[in-house]
A and B are shown apart, each in its own frame.
Chain A
Amino acid sequence: MKLDGKVAWITGAGNGIGRATALRFAQEGARLLLADLEEQAVKAVAGQIREAGGQAAALVGDITVREDVRRMVEAALSEFGRLDILINNAGINRDGLAVKVKEGQVQLMDDGMWDLVLAVNLKGAFLCAQAAAVPMIEKGEGGRVVNTSSIGALGNIGQANYAASKAGVIGLTKTLALEWARFNITVNCVAPGATATRMTAGIPEKLMEGLLAKIPLRRLAQPEEIAEAHLFLASDAAAYITGQVLFVDGGISVGV
């Protein structure tokens, strides 16, 4: 098994990509600390893994709160004795035009929408990476950090906040890769394209048709396909890869 004996901390593990990654990692023998804001969802995932004979603990917490993040790392260490992998997956979107003009009325994206998305997607990722690196460095056996950017990092109408946060994750990834290479901690990120999760569930049919027409492979990603990319970057197969952005987008960043 590819992650035998490894301990992985996955944020946003209650649903979608985080959940798929948790289930995939459990298949490969990882012991898991699963964190999410949604108690019921994350406990269900951990329970499913334990029922199948795997090891998983669930913890409710907010990655934008340093104290919550500290509790997550401590839970991983007390539960499993070490930490090898962080999958920085938790993320949100709050879409809207930066400046909306409708019937002569000007409406601005409010500060709350901007601050919340940046706090979760960028600051949250930073806090978790910082917290994960400390025990990895102390243990001296290296480690893996996999962040989550997005195709949205390249710019997307209605996502000024989300795009900025996900482009920020790329800068964060490259900087941490440079800073932590000497500890043999690799830092990479996965950039999913449109993926079949609740984030895309609300896209109207007309828009979805237009979106699919722009994807060379002509379909959305399944959460399991993003989980495979997480597994690849967390596994020994990616030992010599650091500071990279892996787009898993059916080719949409290239175009049709």
Chain B
Amino acid sequence: MNEQVREQAVPASTGLLQDKVALVTGASMGIGEAIAMDLAAHGAHVAFTYRRHAEEAAAVAGRIEERCRQAMALQADVASFEDAQRVVQEVQGKLGRLDLLINNAGMNWDGVVWKMTEEQWDQVISVDLKGTFNYLRAAAPVFKEQGSGKIVNVTSINGLRGKFGQSNYSAAKGGVIALTKTVARELGRYNVNVNAVAPGLIETPMVKQAPEQVRDMALAEIVLGRLGTPEEVAWVVTFLCSEAARHITGQVIQVDGGQYM
């Protein structure tokens, strides 16, 4: 059924985002890759960052270019403030402008709180929360200056509800939600929309490798009875990046099949 839905909803190019320039963090695989591809399918030129997977990133860039859209794969550590400044400058330099920012890069490193190390906490907060701040900070002056822009932060339903074994990840993702609302307030008067999507359990390469028990427990929670696909998250991001969503700001859209209500 998913394959069928995908084909119906993603035509070759609808031009919804024609010639917009997007920056997606962490797009060499999984949800980020699907976001980059869907933005390109709707007409956007896409720059994206990756940390380690240079080969996968090159492949994603190649597939974007096959759609006759410009692509730019940039190696960067989202936890680095300087990297974010450099990336935004390079994107503006090469693609001429910046219209859409999707803060997607994230990681988890789970453990119950009584066993969690300081390094575990710091690393997840640095990537998931500070990483989002870094790119907001780098792009905000651009958007403020041009009086337009769309920002979508990828958070998680666990940032809303908490999750056993994820005190670091849940705190970071909850922080992203507060950050989203704050920046929506700050940039609203400059005609910049800032929203978040909160996926539930999505069929990513990472999740495919997870123990069956983890999947089964999640499936029991999901009222639609199946995991989501990266594309289903990407479609919502595309909507939020489009003019159709121009009156939506400061919101968190759950894409979770009813996993958390």
Contacts and interface: CB of A to CB of B under 8 A. Distances in A.
B185 A254 contact: yes
Contact of A228 (B225, B245, B251, B261): B245
Contact of B255 (A177, A215, A228, A240): A240
Contacts of A242: 223-224, 257-258
Highest count of chain B CB atoms <10 Å: which of A177, A236, A248, A255: A236
A111 to B, nearest CB: 33
Contact of A248 (B185, B232, B248): B248
Contacts, number: 119
Interface residues of B, number: 37
A216 B249 contact: yes
A225 interface: yes
A229 interface: yes
A255 B185 contact: yes
Contacts of B9: 2, 235-237, 239
Contact of B261 (A177, A229, A255): A177
A200 B229 CA distance: 40
A246 B223 contact: no
Given A237-B238, A240-B224, A254-B181, A216 B255 contact: no
Interface in B28-64: none
A223 to B, nearest CB: 11
B175 interface: no
A229 B253 contact: no
Interface of A: 2, 174, 177-178, 181-182, 184, 186, 193, 215-218, 221-222, 225-226, 228-229, 231-232, 235-244, 246-251, 253-256
Interface of B: 5, 8-9, 181, 184-185, 187-189, 191, 193, 223-225, 228-229, 232-233, 235-236, 238-239, 244-251, 253-258, 261
